[in-house]
Structure 1
């Protein structure tokens, strides 16, 4: 499974790279803040929403600490989606966040 450090992902965002980030946390966790531009798809919804993902794109998967996103990354890779897990999850994210709906 491919992994990326939060600082590396933050650097890519700062450099203006067009990234596809998926946050697999639950609604109450996401309400505290997400990585700017991330798309929210709860872990349990990944199988039914996999059609929303483009097999030609690369996705960075994020959760609270890295465990759920690791499972999501493995599932996506097994289904032909290019995915990378963000190590440490949002607990390790030290950069900008956006609060949905604000």
Structure 2
């Protein structure tokens, strides 16, 4: 499983890179603050909403601490998606939160 640190994600965003970020936290957690542009697909719904994703894109998976996003990353990888887990999750995020 490929991983990226929260700082690496923040740096890419600050450089103006367009990132496709999927936040797998629950709706209530997501509402307390998210990375700009992140889309919320709670972990329990990933299997049912993966048809919304494009296999030609690269997705960065995010959760609170990196565990749930790691599971989502492994699951989506098994279906041929190009996904990267943000290690440490939102607990490691020091960037701007919406």
* TM-score, structure 2 normalization: 0.99
Match of 2:47 in 1: 47
Flag structure 2 segments of 5+ consecutive residues without an equivalent. none
Shift of 1:27: 1.1
For each residue in 1:24-56, what CA deviation from the matched residue of structure 2 results, as whole angstroms up to 9, or x when unmatched?
000111111000000000000000100110000
For each residue in 1:34-80, what CA deviation from the matched residue of structure 2 results, as whole angstroms up to 9, or x when unmatched?
00000000000000100110000000000000000000000000001
Superposed CA RMSD: 0.4
Flag structure 1 segments of 5+ consecutive residues without an equivalent. none
Residues 1:35 and 2:35 are matched in the alignment: yes
Match of 1:58 in 2: 58
Matched position secondary structure for 2:44: helix
Match of 1:14 in 2: 14
Match of 1:75 in 2: 75
* TM-score, structure 1 normalization: 0.95
Matched position secondary structure for 1:10: helix
